[in-house]
Structure 1
Amino acid sequence: MRVRLLPMGERAVVAEVVSLDEVLALHAALTASRPTGVVDLVPAARTLLVHVDPRQTALAAARAWIERTARGVDAAARPGSQTHVELDAVYDGPDLAETAALLGLGVDELVARHSAAAWTVAFTGFAPGFGYLVSDDWRFDVPRLASPRTRVPAGAIGLAAGFTGAYPRETPGGWRLIATTRTVLFDPDAASPALLAPGTEVRFRPTSPRSPSSATGAASTSPRSPSLSRGRARAAEEQGALSSGTGKTRSAASSRVPALRIVEPGLLATIQDLGRPGAASLGVAPSGALDRGALRTANRLVGNREGAAGVEVTMGGFRAVAEADLWFAVAGAWGAVRLDGREVDPYEAHAWAAGAELHLDWFAHGARAYLAVRGGLDARTVLGSRATDLLAGLGPEPLHAGTAIALAGEASLPIPPAAIAPWGVPHDDGLEVELAPGARADWFAASALRDLFEAVWTVTNDADRVGVRLDGPVLDRAREGELPSEGMVPGALQVPPTGRPTILLADGPVTGGYPVIAVATDASLDAIAQARPGSRIRFRHARAT
């Protein structure tokens, strides 16, 4: 197999092949020989993203491994899946009749062809557990809706281009909806969270709306496939709760004594740790603290391990009351920190007596501060992390007035007797961000690459945990057309048709269809996290390593 390797920043590479069959064959071969240090393998329509941890595997070594493995792959001999799933489907979608007419079929014939096809999950993306299914039995190219729906319910089964897929949770979407399943498609508490993981073979079983199987949300598997988790046999109302990001799984915090209670969350406050890397192939973003260095520092100040969960406070306005005697530290964005009305220093551990109110005033510099409490904060754990993922709705909900939080009991070191490092006001304007090459830089005119590095870019109001949209010159393309979805990484500069880039952050999508012109270096991401609307950014080329 011939493979073209494209750079995707300093920690990832995109392997491009000529067909989806070759993607599946290469993905199977790489999975079978995966070395230590490969964090993610993310298949897409024509590409495979390989993301590495440079502390364990050099990117050059990963490139050599991909090329060596590809030479021995026969795409025509795609390995059969060991996982087979049958999904009950009620063909009652609002677009069923219109889609059948578009394809020149009757409704019954469309249902018969869709349910008779042998489908395979080619890749996931868009949302956790959303599988893009393909079939050699399905030759139709179905156009997306001209105007996407703002709400597609969980369990809706749709068609778009040559794919079919089922929505694991309520979300906007532009696919044409032809059916519904009650099966839980993504259960973060299960050993295998995504029912429709890449490589899974799927059949749709037409079911009456009132049949027993459709009422319980049944899915069946062949004897060769793993048994379904208990979560996928839950009732339909459990699916709705899971879609909201809360689920009905009881957090350990519910059985612990609250340590603090939120009085006012400010603009946004969420529980964050260092995230859940390694689950991108399931459609799950890494999430976690946007300014990882600030969270690590705050945790060290109170004797926690660096990855303990704390509170990420956006722009300030946060108030909380201690329910027990605590120790805390604040790092990151700068603003007045008051304990029972008395101003105290950030970047220093302080005793927090029961009944006292902690107030993080509106920030004067930076966008995000991190509150660490000795012992770490307890919250619902999803895929090994307590992080809140706003785009996917995973992990604990954003904090609100009245939320009670317990301690996880994870403190392991003494509180340092003195400051552990010098600190200063975070730079939130005039930022210099290093960029490494992106996979689709050749889609842009030479003038675009010049403007990217010579212009001063401004952070717009469209800046959140998913991404930061920038204002500046239009980056002209040298190549028109749509890009098939491919893997993304935090820091990727996607350029939509408007010509102005968006920097993807920790909650960003794991696949996307806009070309990536460049990728911010990992070391730059903490600085980007502190950029506020109106902040100015200049890009420069990353130093060679």
Structure 2
Amino acid sequence: MIEAAGETLALQKVRSVRAVGTCAVLAELSGTQDVLALQALLLEKPLPGQTDVLAAAETVLVRADSPASARRIAALLPRLQLTARARAEGELVVIDTVYDGEDLAEVGQLTGLGTDGVIAAHSGQVWTMAFAGFAPGFAYMVGENQSLDVPRRSSPRTAVPAGSVALAGNYSAVYPRSSPGGWQLIGRTGAKMWDLDREQPALVAPGQRVRFRAVRNAVTLAAEPSSVSPEAQQQAASGLRVLSPGVQSLIQDLGRHGHSGLGVSAAGALDRASLRRANRLVGNAPSAAAVETVAGGLKVQAVGDQVLAVAGAPSHLGIESPSDPELGESGESGHHRTAPMATPFALLDGEILSIGAPESGFRSYVAVRGGVDAAPVLGSRSTDTMSGIGPAPLAAGEVLAAGPDTESGVVGDPELQPDFPGTGVSVLDVVPGPRADWFDQAALDSFCGQDWEVTPQSNRVGMRLQGTPLQRRRTGELPSEGTVAGALQIPPEGLPVLFLADHPITGGYPVIGVVVDSQLDRAAQIPIGGRIRFRWAAAEGGAATEGRAAAGPTTSERKASN
């Protein structure tokens, strides 16, 4: 039972538990009250090995520190009694809203309420924040009635303005920043839904009540200031000056974990092993911030003498020594030398390191002794390209200061690296589910029976794959639920999207399977044009089997693993 606002609510137990890869499980419940109760219970009394909890529409995703912990958590969840006390209602959050959204008239037609009726229904009821998802500060809010239940747009917009007030299904939300989106837009607000300068960055927390107040005055959101000023960049006395950032170069560490309740994904280096290797070689702590760069083209100049190491995709590392110090960044140089991969080397003051196109693989990691001294956000220096949290992508002229994040007084010995994938076929092991039962056996066979090509539309959010589309056996929309890196979502067109570190923390497309965690580093190194063949994880032994067994696979999932 839960006692709230003077009434007692009878709640159901966890209905079922499904595996989500090897280190997470998905608990299915009856509705919002049960979801909030389980989330509150797990936050108050974490289960052994639990690392994060994410509530969604009808599910709670629980991440674990190992496949063994995931198995134990899956066994414990159905036994829990949802008797946690609901949090106090607290102060009502009021969001001033100008009701002039592009879809307001259409929503009036869909609901039969008309424009004025939609405004009255939206502003005339109290909404409750159920869960966070999609982006930091994006709060899924449930109303007191079903009068505004409308479908998502058939064709999502490529850009929804920050501050847009929107509807989809039974939910209302405010877009905290400009992003793609398929919700129906009915208004706009100047309320800042996400502000890292606040003690609690999210304006609305799970379980909190919200009322939208209709106003006439136009409101705008101020542009977000840069995290590092140009003056501060130029004052770095020791570090690396960026001469050319290449295609995309980002500051990354091992990510910001445990913040999914705020709508924040982990982000972090896509090839974690290569980041650790580069840091180990220069004597840094394993999670020190380094530069992740793709497809070559990065060129940096030492500001003061530096110790560097480059790990990941094998590439030509050229070093130029300016013949005249006053030439600086003019490009004219004197002596040339090369440096080996996965080996510490000195880059003396004024010398320039250039990274060539990879011979295989896709991503390289440049570690400087002491780590890149960027401002941490929620405990991490990683750039999250989905949410915009963390340092901006590297730009020509900026200086990356070297920090104090060393762990050893000496550098490491040269290390051997694994083989990196090329444009041939890479095989990745996949744990079935959690929504493999949305597909018939023919689709499951096709999923693992063909080669999928990585398209140029791929990025750190997800790898978009091209091949023969998969057909669902179920129609309709899946209520948004938590997901993980490695998840393979199947949108309506039937082409998989392999989620990477910057993925949205919730999704509404069925996940046919999840790449085992130990192979995510390899997956991130598959280049554009490379091909992937998925293989159901072995039925006996290995972490993947533990993770699947923990969740008790459905009949279709058991068939899929045969």
> Do they superpose with TM above 0.5?
yes
Counterpart secondary structure, 1:186: coil
Aligned counterpart, 2:157: 149
Q: Comparing 136-145 with 299-308, which one deviates more in the overlay?
A: 136-145
Counterpart secondary structure, 1:88: strand
CA distance in 1, matches of 2:365, 2:412: 20
Aligned counterpart, 2:367: 372
**1:65 and 2:76 correspond:** yes
Q: Deviations over 1:145-193 (max 9, x none)?
A: 3433332221111122211111111112222222222121111343322
Contact 2:164 2:175 in 1 (8 A): yes
Gaps of 5+ in 1: 216-235
What displacement does 1:376 show?
A: 0.3
Identity rate of aligned residues, in percent? Answer: 43
What displacement does 1:110 show?
A: 2.7
With over 3 angstroms needed to count, the CA separation of the structure-2 counterparts of 1:151 and 1:346, relative to structure 1, is same
With over 3 angstroms needed to count, the CA separation of the structure-2 counterparts of 1:482 and 1:251, relative to structure 1, is farther
**1:241 and 2:235 correspond:** no
Contact 1:310 1:370 in 2 (8 A): yes
Match for 1:347: what amino acid? Answer: A
CA distance in 1, matches of 2:418, 2:25: 35
Q: How does 1:344-363 map to 2 (within 5 A)?
A: 344-363=339-358
CA distance in 1, matches of 2:348, 2:401: 15
**1:480 and 2:463 correspond:** no
Aligned counterpart, 1:328: 308
Counterpart secondary structure, 2:387: coil
**1:462 and 2:448 correspond:** no
What displacement does 1:82 show?
A: 4.1
Match for 2:151: what amino acid? Answer: P
What displacement does 1:116 show?
A: 2.1
**1:187 and 2:195 correspond:** yes
Q: How does 1:56-135 map to 2 (within 5 A)?
A: 58-69=69-80, 71-73=81-83, 80-82=88-90, 84-135=92-143
Counterpart secondary structure, 1:110: helix
What displacement does 1:88 show?
A: 2.0
Match for 2:128: what amino acid? Answer: T
CA distance in 2, matches of 1:176, 1:278: 31
CA distance in 2, matches of 1:417, 1:284: 34
- TM-score, with structure 1 as normaliser: 0.88
Counterpart secondary structure, 1:377: coil
CA distance in 2, matches of 1:207, 1:384: 38
What displacement does 1:332 show?
A: 0.2
Contact 2:307 2:344 in 1 (8 A): yes
**1:423 and 2:417 correspond:** yes
**1:31 and 2:43 correspond:** yes
Q: Deviations over 1:309-339 (max 9, x none)?
A: 0000101011011111100000000110011
Aligned counterpart, 2:54: 42
CA distance in 1, matches of 2:191, 2:126: 19
Q: Deviations over 1:72-109 (max 9, x none)?
A: 459xx866544632222222333334433432334443
What displacement does 1:123 show?
A: 1.3
Q: Deviations over 1:24-43 (max 9, x none)?
A: 23222322222353222111
Counterpart secondary structure, 2:119: helix
What displacement does 1:515 show?
A: 0.6
Which of 442, 447, 451 does residue 452 from structure 1 map onto?
Answer: 447
CA distance in 1, matches of 2:523, 2:21: 16
Aligned counterpart, 2:559: none
Q: For the aligned residues, what is the CA RMSD?
A: 2.3
What displacement does 1:289 show?
A: 0.4
What displacement does 1:348 show?
A: 0.6
Contact 1:349 1:415 in 2 (8 A): no
Gaps of 5+ in 2: 1-11, 321-335, 547-562
With over 3 angstroms needed to count, the CA separation of the structure-2 counterparts of 1:441 and 1:73, relative to structure 1, is farther
What displacement does 1:253 show?
A: 5.8
Aligned length: 512
Q: Comparing 307-316 with 17-26, which one deviates more in the overlay?
A: 17-26
Aligned counterpart, 2:383: 388
CA distance in 2, matches of 1:96, 1:81: 30
- TM-score, with structure 2 as normaliser: 0.86
Q: How does 1:195-274 map to 2 (within 5 A)?
A: 195-209=203-217, 236-237=221-222, 240-241=223-224, 246=226, 256-257=236-237, 259-274=239-254
Contact 1:117 1:138 in 2 (8 A): no
Match for 2:74: what amino acid? Answer: R
With over 3 angstroms needed to count, the CA separation of the structure-2 counterparts of 1:317 and 1:452, relative to structure 1, is same
Aligned counterpart, 1:404: 399
With over 3 angstroms needed to count, the CA separation of the structure-2 counterparts of 1:474 and 1:106, relative to structure 1, is closer
With over 3 angstroms needed to count, the CA separation of the structure-2 counterparts of 1:430 and 1:144, relative to structure 1, is closer
Counterpart secondary structure, 1:517: strand
Which of 56, 66, 81 does residue 54 from structure 1 map onto?
Answer: 66
Q: Comparing 107-116 with 125-134, which one deviates more in the overlay?
A: 107-116
What displacement does 1:424 show?
A: 4.8
Aligned counterpart, 2:526: 531
Contact 2:234 2:398 in 1 (8 A): no
Counterpart secondary structure, 2:93: strand
Contact 1:273 1:288 in 2 (8 A): yes
Contact 1:21 1:78 in 2 (8 A): no
Counterpart secondary structure, 2:411: coil
**1:295 and 2:278 correspond:** no
Q: Comparing 249-258 with 403-412, which one deviates more in the overlay?
A: 249-258
Match for 1:467: what amino acid? Answer: G
